[in-house]
Each structure stands twice: as structure tokens, then as C-alpha cells.
Copies of this chain bind each other. A is one copy, B any other.
């Protein structure tokens, strides 16, 4: 079988992660990277892989089996997915949960018309966590589902702190509260408030002359972002920041705590402990690119989510080998 030929649109953290993940999968090859920047200024890791302007992508329709779209959810993906699905099978990591239905419909209309497959909202949440939310309630219809995030860096909350006057650098970590997690794991099915589920911890480098007390108060009282949480603010030196807070760890867990038909407590848990959030998301995107390729090869089309994809399609192994080795 010939390799699955992948294109990447966008070369930020996620695009770089997809490039690296493809190199771990011997049934795949990276054909080209597409960028909105001047291609001559984009330095990539792969030798012999060309960088093209994003506008030129349709020219490579015949050379690319699946296009992995690595833009952001706010502006890039709502535009890019319906655009690229005209010519390519696509994978994206659209993660604005509330807008997923509309996003799906837009992708589906284009993909149906053009006989392409577009798997949307791939990653770990939405993605692998969603799968486990579904599995938990399908298998144990009587019960409660809990999603906890962290320990992990939240990009949105870090940005919010960085926008405060007097803040030079900042990161924010989301921390699941251990007591709440333990109660859930014990099958207590607690009702948990926002404050009881997660805490927020900030590491902040101040600009010269900034007032720590003022900034700490401003962070803790910020509506939507921090006001509903117990927030700790740590002021640190720039050296310490650069040494210890450059990574992008994340993770969390989905727990289904239910009762089977005769009242026995049954608990399912899926957890992730990630040293790099974007690198892991990229790895998931690449596995689902394989599924998009296989579905398209069978004549399938339209928008899909992780709920529509049998796990067997994620693997390079044949169904017979999977049954023999992994079942």
C-alpha cells in the first residue's frame, strides 16, 4: 500500500506537532506545508518538504490525501474547514464547544457536495474526552459524568493575566481539586460547584514598578476567568519564569460514576497526563487523518466527529491483526 499523503495548513505549535507526529507513523508522509506567511521565511524541520502559500493549496489536490488544518478555533477554522473541504479530506481541532453544531453543518454541506470527508473537533477535549463521556453514559445510563482538567496550562487564562497593565509575563495553571476528585472516584456522586472542582494558580513576572497587591486583586476579581475560583497568585523573577514555566503540560480526567442494574457501583475513568498539550493534540489529529483516508477510500463522505469513527480505522494494522493482537 502506498503511503497516506498529508498536507498541513498553518505552522504554529500544532502544525509543528503534526509534522513531528507524521514522522512517527511509517504509513504516512508529509507532502507540503501551507502558510499565510511568506514561505521563504518559514523554517521547518523536515528536509525536502516544500512550504507553499496557502492560496496555492488547491493546485495540490491530486498529491494530498488528507489536509490537517492547524489554525485557531476563533477565526481560522470556521473559514478554513469549509474552504479546504472543497478539495481535500480534512481534520481539524475546532474546540469552541457551543458552536460545534453550526461548524459541523457548514463542513458537512461542503464535504457532501464535494465527496470529501471532514472530521471535525478532533483532539482530546473535544475528542478523546468526549468519547469517554459518551461511553460512560451509554454503558451506565444511571450515573453522573464528571470532567476535570489539569494539572495544566490554560492558554486563555494566561492571556487574560498578560493583558493586565504591569504584567510582563504570566502563566496560569488549572488544578483539579483533589478532595473533589477523590469523592468522585469513591462513587459519592457529589454535586460540585465551579469553585469546588478546580483551582487556578498564576505565576506572574511584574514590570518594573508595578504594584503586586493591585495586580493580585485585579486577577482574583476578574469576572468569568477568576472570580468564581480560588486563585493563587505567585510573583516570580523572570529567570525563574523562563526556567520553569515554558512548557505546556495539561491533562485531566473523565469519570463516569454509575450503578448497574442491580445497584452495584461501577466507575469508569479516562485520564491524560500530558507533558505537551499541543504535541499530544497533534498526535490525535494524525491518527484521525488515517481514519479520514480510509473512509474516503471506501467512498464515504461528509462531516464526521470522533463519535462516528470506529477505533479500528485509527490504526495502521489490518482488522485481522487488530483482533489477533489487541482484542
Residues of chain A whose beta carbon lies under 8 Å from any beta carbon of chain B? 16-17, 19-25, 97, 100-101, 104, 121, 126, 128, 130-135, 137-142, 185, 260-262, 264-276, 279-280, 282-284, 287, 290, 305-312, 314-316, 319-320, 322-324, 326-327
Q: Give the distance in Å from the alpha carbon of A312 to the alpha carbon of B134 in the complex.
A: 8
Set B19, B261, B268: member contacting A20, Cβ < 8 A: B261
A contacts with B: majority SS: helix
- Chain B: minimal CB distance from A281 (Å): 9
Q: List 23 A-B contacts (CB under 8 A).
A: A20-B262, A21-B260, A22-B261, A23-B261, A24-B141, A24-B142, A134-B326, A139-B284, A185-B273, A261-B279, A261-B282, A265-B275, A266-B272, A266-B275, A266-B279, A269-B272, A269-B273, A306-B327, A307-B312, A307-B326, A308-B310, A308-B319, A310-B310
Cβ–Cβ contact B307 & A311, under 8 A: yes
- In the bound complex, what is the Cα–Cα distance between A133 and B284 (angstroms)? 15
Contacts of A290 in B (CB 8 A): 138
Give the interface centre of A22, A24, A311 by most chain B CB atoms within 10 Å.
A311
Alpha-carbon distance between A137 and B283 when the two chains are bound, in angstroms: 11
A82 to chain B, nearest CB (A): 17
A154 to chain B, nearest CB (A): 18
Closest A-B pairs by Cβ, 4 of them: A20-B261, A307-B312, A264-B276, A264-B275
Q: When chains A and B are docked, how far (Å) is the Cα of A142 from the Cα of B25?
A: 9
Other contacts beyond A24-B260, A134-B311, A305-B327: 10, CB < 8 A: A17-B261, A132-B270, A134-B322, A138-B290, A260-B276, A264-B275, A264-B276, A266-B274, A307-B311, A309-B310
